[in-house]
A and B are shown apart, each in its own frame.
Chain A
Amino acid sequence: MGKILRRTFLIGTAAIAGGVAFGAYQLNKTYPNPLEDDLAEGENTFNPYVKITSDNTVTILVPRAEMGQGVTTTLAALVAEELDVDMADIKVEIAPASYAYYNSAMLADGAPLAHYNRSKLASAMRSSMSGLGKILGLQVTGGSSSIADAYDKLRQAGCAARETLKLAASEKSGIAIAELKTENAKVILPDGKTLTYGELAEAAAQLDPPSDIKMRPASEWKILGKPTPRTDAFAKSTGAPIFGIDVDLPDMLYASVKMNPRLGGKMKSFDATEAKKIKGIVDVIDMTGPDNEKFGGGIAVIATNTWSAFKGINAVEVEWDEAPYPATTDGIMGVIETALKSGDGDNLRDDGNVELAFADAPRERVVEAQYRVPYLAHSTMEPMNATAQLKDGRLDIWTGTQAPTIVRSDCAYEAGVEEENTFVHSTYLGGGFGRRGEVDFARFAARVAKATNGKPVQVIWTREEDMTHDTYRPASISNWKARLDENGLPMAIDGQIATPSVIASVMARTYPSLSPAGPDNTITHGAFDQPYTVENYRISGIKAPVDIPIGFWRSVGNSYNGFYHESFLDEVAAKSNLDPIEMRLKLMKDHPTAIGVVNKVASMANWSAAKQEGRAKGFAFTLSFGCWVAQVIEVSQTDDGIKIENVWCAADIGEALDSAIVKTQIQSGIVYGLSSALGQEITFDDGMVEQTNFDSFDAMRMNQCPNMEIEILETADHRGGAGEPGTPPSIPALANAIHALTGKRIRSMPLSNEVDFYA
């Protein structure tokens, strides 16, 4: 194992860094505090996370994108806990774009390692990948990594600010620091007198923090470790203008884009004569970028209001060029199938000797199956949009983004201005799910802003443009084979998974100068890294060359590998007449955390109870993003189709900082996964995506939403994430329940292609 990991590590690192060597100097350097350049009268800053004004207003800067996962609450709480301020009294702001807000945890999780691998080598690899996140200054929200990244960093920021304020209080009062206490934005002197943080802030901001500061142990926490009301609930319950689409600037123009529906294809010609007759239209411009760009050709219509822009893009007559991929779904799946047949992949797991194990396997002891999944759109509720203003050599971008520093550098390049003259104003996100880690929508706004003579312009995509120009979750096909031993347990498992590489697609758009090489871990995430002990166990990821833009979609590779791996294990259990939970418990014998959630969910779901007529339950487990998740889903047969009645879920995340938010994140992930099973599928004809809106690409609705019972366990040794891990096991738990109900084994997604669901 060591040998293969060392090799993949080197290549895997190169895949992200492009072979850039980095040394101790870069790792140890600190980024300057971006807040210092932009302080208002009376404002003081202590570090990139804290601002305090003389009137005692404490503002906490949240370095990650708020897209519903609660970072404006839990990350703020990390600072507030150490700073000694009440959550009800603080102001929370989304931090500006700055390398100071780099995320080191996301890349650490990108190392080709199973979460439970805690060897010295694994630890060295993780820490090296973390260093890379710092060097690249990646201010990215993704990979369910926000808490893992922020846990020490933000508490340290709160602690350092608190101790500096105490130091200022000590200098002012002549009383030793050790005798000072803090409480709700005040320093308390031994005689009970108080000095507010506001009174001390200006003097304190000139001081270096004391060197011997200590963070509090968890046992002394007042805020963390229990549910905190969300800081954004009021704004989001009153329709406040907090999203990118709500940005409203004086003299603002509105625009919409129409890019080649054959994704990445060029534009042969366009005729805007009719469009320009529409009232409110200001201009029609060619959006085609340079040849090496992946966005393809297209146009933008600039108008005085959104409706005119929408009418305009449909009135422009365009002749589109061909797509750089096969024109139909069949053709595209054919490329993936050919890649699968080649067998030319990277084995991130290769235990025992799989070839040998199958060489002499008796036919009746072998189970084989092929599974497949389609392309999927993110379909965030808020369509892609960004607002840009390019004036006097300064570029401003307002947008909801998961990657503000990349938006800044790409938009600066786009507009031909310096990065230091480019300012990204991050808004709240009307859904992200990975889609808003892309930069196309922001770049398009910068591109349009070059044509508006200094006026700000809001570029809004129609839903149709959004759905047909996504960076999709890729389609995939996989082959699975197991050999059963005399007890019916798998003694060998061989899984081959073919799919286009998400990392390669993202890199080609975001860092076109770097060429990714080596294995793409995301292809086999959710399959190679599962806590099962099988003597001969091989998982192979095969890259398929299809040039359709694909990207990170909530749980990425786990989203299909959870379905593959757990449906296949259910097939093995069925073949052996074993209870699917009993069988898994045997295979999980080396992983008590896994056993804990499986037993928990079995008890929540009353798994061993006798089967009810017309109802059935299915089970699945996936470890992803460091969170161990077991689910049981119960379905019923109704006159109107199969109905999902109940979902029981036990998730072990390690220490949960806010169990209520963690629970709703797991719930959200489940609904997201089940939505894909109920009918989502992106298909192609004539090189174009056939689904254009929620009428053809829907998601779960209120009347389809099951009862959900979710328990958060906190026994795992290492902290996991919450945003994505609910998704992977939801799909196979449903497929397995349908098998238990109907006897039908569904091996392709969406499940609705083979059964009717209650709608």
Chain B
Amino acid sequence: MILNVNGKDIEIDAEPDMPLLWALRDLAGLKGPKFGCGIAACGACTVHIDGEPMRSCSIAIEDVSGAVTTIEGISDGKDLHSIQKAWIEKQVPQCGYCQSGQIMGAVALLENNSSPTDEDIDEAMSGNLCRCGSYPQIREAIKHAATLKVEA
């Protein structure tokens, strides 16, 4: 089976019911998407499929029809995405485990909405759990990234 991940076609040798998350982590070696719950309840595994934020723990690879983007694919690791810059500037991460998913959710939000309100942020981000309670910093960083994007 061929998956398009971060702009590259990769060969995945797995049972078709394997969730995308495990194909990415165990077979493609992409550790950015995290395992949190396995039932699409926490958002730690969030990736984009054709730009839409999806819970990779709950999509079988046989059902993946579009291009997959993980956090490894939103920047080259040096010149960071504006969301990542805002995350660092606002010192969002505490334990950091949920942040890949939070960032992927926030990137998708800003793609669709260049200046989200508090309600928009609630709507887009409430599926992403953070046990450290970094929500105020996430909110601030999203708003900050929106201004960075405008400047860029």
List chain A positions with a Cβ less than 8 A from chain B: 66-70, 229-230, 232-239, 241-243, 245-246, 248, 254, 279-280, 305-308, 310, 379-383, 428-433, 460, 462-464, 660, 664, 667-668, 670-672, 675, 693-695, 698-705, 707-708
Q: List 17 A-B contacts (CB under 8 A).
A: A239-B99, A254-B26, A380-B97, A380-B131, A428-B96, A432-B95, A463-B36, A664-B134, A671-B133, A671-B135, A694-B36, A694-B39, A695-B39, A700-B133, A701-B127, A703-B122, A703-B123
A70 to B94, CA, bound (A): 7
Question: B26 near A664 (CB under 8 angstroms)?
Answer: no
Question: A68 near B42 (CB under 8 angstroms)?
Answer: no
Chain B: interface residue total (CB-CB under 8 A): 59
In the complex, which residue of chain A has the Cβ closest to the Cβ of B26?
A: A305
Taking the closest CB of chain A, its distance from the CB of B14, in whole angstroms, is 7
Q: Which of A241, A245, A305 contacts B14 (CB 8 A)?
A: A305
In the complex, which residue of chain B has the Cβ closest to the Cβ of A669?
A: B133
A432 to B135, CA, bound (A): 18
Question: A664 near B137 (CB under 8 angstroms)?
Answer: yes
Question: B37 near A382 (CB under 8 angstroms)?
Answer: no
Q: Is B75 an interface residue (CB 8 A)?
A: yes
A280 to B15, CA, bound (A): 9
Taking the closest CB of chain A, its distance from the CB of B90, in whole angstroms, is 9
Taking the closest CB of chain B, its distance from the CB of A21, in whole angstroms, is 40
Question: A246 near B131 (CB under 8 angstroms)?
Answer: no
For A708, the chain B residues whose CB sits under 8 A away are 136
Question: B97 near A382 (CB under 8 angstroms)?
Answer: yes
A141 to B71, CA, bound (A): 30
Question: A668 near B132 (CB under 8 angstroms)?
Answer: yes
A306 to B25, CA, bound (A): 9
Taking the closest CB of chain B, its distance from the CB of A356, in whole angstroms, is 46
Q: Which of A243, A307, A308, A693 contacts B39 (CB 8 A)?
A: A693
Question: B residues 106-134 with Cβ under 8 Å of A?
Answer: 121-123, 125-134
Q: Is B44 an interface residue (CB 8 A)?
A: yes
Greatest chain B CB density within 10 A among A229, A660, A694 is at A694
Question: A660 near B91 (CB under 8 angstroms)?
Answer: yes
For A433, the chain B residues whose CB sits under 8 A away are 131
Q: Is B139 an interface residue (CB 8 A)?
A: yes
Q: Is B10 an interface residue (CB 8 A)?
A: no
Annotate B23-67 by CB proximity to A: 1 below 8 A, 0 otherwise.
001110101111111110110100000000000000000000000
In the complex, which residue of chain B has the Cβ closest to the Cβ of A674?
A: B133
A235 to B123, CA, bound (A): 27
A431 to B129, CA, bound (A): 12
For A429, the chain B residues whose CB sits under 8 A away are 95
For B18, the chain A residues whose CB sits under 8 A away are 305, 307
Taking the closest CB of chain B, its distance from the CB of A279, in whole angstroms, is 6
Greatest chain B CB density within 10 A among A69, A698, A704, A705 is at A705
Q: A237-B103, A238-B84, A702-B125 are known contacts. Are A67 and B135 too (CB-CB below 8 A)?
A: no
Greatest chain A CB density within 10 A among B39, B87, B94, B130 is at B94
Question: A701 near B126 (CB under 8 angstroms)?
Answer: yes
In the complex, which residue of chain B has the Cβ closest to the Cβ of A305?
A: B26
In the complex, which residue of chain B has the Cβ closest to the Cβ of A709?
A: B136
A236 to B32, CA, bound (A): 10
Taking the closest CB of chain A, its distance from the CB of B52, in whole angstroms, is 19
Question: B129 near A699 (CB under 8 angstroms)?
Answer: yes
In the complex, which residue of chain A has the Cβ closest to the Cβ of B139?
A: A702
Greatest chain B CB density within 10 A among A68, A672, A707 is at A68
In the complex, which residue of chain A has the Cβ closest to the Cβ of B72?
A: A239
For B121, the chain A residues whose CB sits under 8 A away are 702
Q: Is B3 an interface residue (CB 8 A)?
A: no
For A248, the chain B residues whose CB sits under 8 A away are 29, 31
7 more CB-based (< 8 A) A-B contacts, given A230-B93, A430-B98, A671-B135? A233-B88, A246-B31, A380-B131, A381-B42, A664-B137, A672-B131, A675-B131
A70 to B84, CA, bound (A): 19
Question: B91 near A694 (CB under 8 angstroms)?
Answer: no
Q: A232-B93, A693-B39 are known contacts. Are A668 and B80 too (CB-CB below 8 A)?
A: no
Question: A428 near B129 (CB under 8 angstroms)?
Answer: no
For B136, the chain A residues whose CB sits under 8 A away are 667, 705, 707-708
For B15, the chain A residues whose CB sits under 8 A away are 279-280, 307-308
Q: Is B146 an interface residue (CB 8 A)?
A: no
